[in-house]
């Protein structure tokens, strides 16, 4: 149930990002894009997975 609300919130922030990017300023658009990334269920886990992979490559590489 929580996941549905998070997805909806991520979609809403993404729509606001596009609207701000087109109408206001690029700075506001980029801020909203980063918020959308943080809110989305895919964003932070994907960044964490990439970061762990980079650390493992440096340690074992």
pLDDT digit string (tens) for 20-44? 777 777 777 777 777 777 777 677 7
Distance CA 56, CA 18 (A): 35
Beta strands in 1-61 (DSSP E): none
Tally the C-alpha atoms within 13 A of residue 25's C-alpha that lie toward its C-beta.
3
Residue for token pair 């964003």? 43
The verdict on pTM exceeding 0.85 is: no
pLDDT at 41: 67
What does the H/E/C string look like for 1-14?
CHHHHHHHHHHHHH
Q: In the predicted model, is pLDDT for residue 18 greater than 70?
A: yes
pLDDT at 19: 76
């Amino acid at each position: 149930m929580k996941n549905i609300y998070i997805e909806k919130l991520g979609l809403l922030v993404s729509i606001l990002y596009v609207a701000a990017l087109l109408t206001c300023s690029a700075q506001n658009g980029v801020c909203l894009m980063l918020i959308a990334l943080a809110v989305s269920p895919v964003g932070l886990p994907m960044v964490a997975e990439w970061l762990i992979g980079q650390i493992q490559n440096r340690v074992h590489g």
